[in-house]
Amino acid sequence: MFAVTATQTDPDNPLAGLALGEHPEPKVPDGWTTVSVRAAALNHHDLWTLKGVGIRQDRLPIVLGCDAAGVDEDGNEVIVHSVIGTGADETLDPKRTLLSEVYDGTFAERVAVPRRNLVPKPAGLSFEHAACLPTAWLTAYRMLFDKAGLQPGSTVLVQGAGGGVATALIALGRAAGYRVWATSRSEEKRERALECGADQAFESGARLPERVDAVMETVGQATWDHSLKSLKPGGRIVVSGATSGAVPPADLNRVFFLQLSVIGTTMGTREQLGRLAVFLEQTGLRPVVDRVLPLAEARDGFAAMDAGEIFGKIVFTG
């Protein structure tokens, strides 16, 4: 079958290890099944794998991709939950892993997954939109509706508009009745954030009109100081990523004096993915898709992500 694989890692030239071509059919352990992939979405996780982050060299070559929607062996339209783990909340399993870390991922004609990881795809969602949900949109859903502790009408600051999680946060927050503010260094991305539902968009680090109830943080070191200073007393920062660096000054005096909360989260559960899909079906909300490419042209999608030239999700189809 055709697949997109990582054959080597290089932090300076990640696309050097990207290979497109024939790959063996997936092996199917007991309790697993196969899904014929109709659409798969690109994440920064895939680019980081090519840079050597979070992957053991003895796992290479490995099929890339965490997200997919397709058809299972019984002909059902499904969304693939990419967290492989056990327990009521598989994200808390110390041995959890994502597709494309230990097991081959979704950038292929077929992918093997545990049966419990299949979520019914609502008929009103296209395969392309459904494929955007399992990583970026699920992460955003959990940040807003599980970790942030917000009520409708609360003010939320989303740092770094443009990425998949940030775009999802803006759209979900708007649909849920939050007042959503966003930041970006790019004027174009600030304008796009407004189109996606942000009430206001500011240049990165800009002084805000007032302090906010919660900050959604995926950028890390570059925005951390601004995130802390933007919170009301008692406010929360929900952190799901640190693309610009993971060790900013903590500013603990501000944290304890203003009684701020810093809450970490990663991905989400299968049940939350199912509720997210229903939420989109019921509200009519759809993920922002930057572009749709044939899987055979996946290199172009990786290059665009590496250059930061995207807004929303890049989706590959068979």
pTM (2 d.p.) = 0.95
List, for residues 102-159, the tens digit of each pLDDT value: 999 999 999 999 999 999 999 999 999 999 999 999 999 999 999 999 999 999 999 9
Q: Render pLDDT for 266-302 as a digit per residue (tens, 0 to 9).
A: 999 999 999 999 999 999 999 989 999 999 999 999 9
Architecture of domain 2-132+287-317: Alpha-Beta Complex (3.90)
Quick one: pLDDT at residue 150? 94
116 with 295: CB under 8 angstroms? no
Domain with CATH 3.90.180.10 in the chain: 2-132+287-317
What stretch(es) of the chain map to CATH 3.40.50.720?
A: 137-264
Query: Tens digits of per-residue pLDDT, 225-270?
Result: 999 999 999 999 999 988 888 899 999 999 999 999 999 999 999 9
Quote the pLDDT of residue 243.
82
Please give the DSSP secondary-structure letter assigned to residue 185. S
Selected from 1.10.10.10, 3.40.50.720, 3.30.1490.190, 3.40.50.300, the CATH number assigned to the domain covering 137-264 reads 3.40.50.720
Specify the 3-state DSSP secondary structure of 21.
strand
User: Cβ neighbours of residue 158 under 8 Å, at least 6 residues apart?
Assistant: 166, 169, 170, 173, 180, 181, 182, 183, 193, 198, 215, 216
